[in-house]
Amino acid sequence: MIFRVLLIFSVCFLSSPAFASYSGPYSLIAPVAIDGDTIKADVPVWPGVNIDASIRVIGVDAPELTTAGCATKAENDAIRAAAIRAREFVDAWLNRNSPVVIGGVKQDTYSGRYDAVVTGAGGERLSAALIQAGHGRLYNGGKRQTWCKL
């Protein structure tokens, strides 16, 4: 039943060109880090209706947990270690800055994921915190730089 409501809501309401940008803000329920630049959370979009969403943090690129494809195992291991540190930083940031909200929400190029600006209770953006702490770098779309040779 909930799936049917979400499907009707998505097709009839969000597919309209007037709503191409979902905007926000939306409060997040129980956000957790997937990696340094992706979080997962329940997002209340309608009274009594929450969407389990994967959210790509706008404005930052962080190392990936999966194999980086670098020339050496040592480089790949270093990137994975950096990705784990970034994920741990994001989890701590989410807990420290609760309640967390998202805004500027739009559909990501990957199906089922959304791009959004993630902001904590004090107004700090997660993207800026990641960059300032050295766990990510500025990213505003386009081809991403390699993390090889950290």
Pairwise pLDDT comparison (115 vs 9), residue with the higher score: 115
Residue linked to tokens 């980086």: 68
Q: Measured between alpha carbons, how far is 12 from 64 in angstroms, rounded to an integer?
A: 35
Identify whether the C-beta of residue 38 lies closer than 8 Å to the C-beta of residue 56. Answer: yes
Sign of the alpha-carbon torsion through 4, 8, 11, 16: negative
Rounded average pLDDT over 42-52 = 93
Asked if residues 31 and 94 have their Cβ atoms less than 8 Å apart, the reply is yes
**Amino acid 94: pLDDT:** 97
Q: Which of 12-26, 40-54, 80-94, 129-143 has the lowest mean pLDDT?
A: 12-26
| Separation between Cα atoms, residue 43 and residue 41, nearest integer Å | 6
Between 2 and 95, where is the model more confident?
Answer: 95
pTM for this prediction: 0.82
* Confidence (pLDDT) at 7: 37
Q: How far apart are CA 46 and CA 82, in angstroms?
A: 37
pLDDT tens-digit series, residues 72-119: 999 999 999 999 999 999 999 999 999 999 999 999 887 789 999 999
